[in-house]
Structure 1
């Protein structure tokens, strides 16, 4: 074992693993709404009658319940958070136990990554044309369907994909700069969703709930897919991966 190797500590990998485990539980909680509820129309302004509930393993919200003036059942939410923390700790412990090979992998990937941290964001002509087209399409849709359920459905269903596509249009920039693109774009898209929801007569928190329910599973699955692709790419390029002796 190479103990002198620079890299992140076991605690850092534990925190990352715990975050992954808790994100997975958040995804499962979001999916639970679609399994527990009789209809989903309220997420786009349809106020049809039908039972709606959310939570895993315990129900933390059910339509029509007041919870003493609170939005959710906080005792049940606390128990769910404890369960999510427990699952996260298991994943974190596993990640911490593999800190050395993970550090080797991260160092290898960093050595082969482009050194463009000081490079300003630049769009190629092709990227600029794509961006202009996307903006025109979004403007047209907003103009024609601004106060329609279809707009919310599009934001719920394609929001994360749209944001990632926007962030990846610039070429040869670091991931930090891509995050800097995604954050304001996310805020703007959520603001559009809220504006459309209010125009449809929806409550503010119901729109945010819809964003959480629809975006969390997509984001978690997307992160899992990207992580899997990175790991597979690494192991394909390193047929004899480092192993602790």
Structure 2
């Protein structure tokens, strides 16, 4: 696979990574993702699973490539993910015309296509690792990549207006009343959420779950200073 000019790695229906070999030591990569949902958040809310998610993704991608060539690669990945997610959401249909009461059939392609419109995906280039022993030494973030020169202006707009232009392609996660666009906070809150979910699954836990909350007084006094 190392010699492939294009490589697509799927993460279920949540997103994908596109690796493109331009020439030796000049590779590039892109991440296609849902900016509003954490990994596995969509599938965890679906009761059951579907066979054929990868097949419909592949068919959609091939159709787009036949239409636009390799220029349509990212668009094809986005449409393929949207169709896969739509198929998962719709699920199987019961075939009322069958003699067997348990007969199931796939939804029609038109229904899948119509349902995929609401599923949108963003795209961002990825900073490629230079050291396999430490693949992310600078804690790379899509937020920094997209707001490199206007970070302070973006922070000011969020504090004053609650939103800012240019964040459409940045991961935004909501935990109750808390909304965050920072990778560190998203991963930290997500870890706490998963820990609580796993704890609640155990009906007879042997230990009590403690969550320690530390608030930086400086961050409370100045909303532009992030709490660490």
TM-score over 0.5 for the pair: no
Report the structure, 1 or 2, having the larger strand content: 2
Report the structure, 1 or 2, having the larger helix content: 1
Which TM bucket (shorter chain)?
under 0.3
Question: TM (normalized to structure 2)?
Answer: 0.24
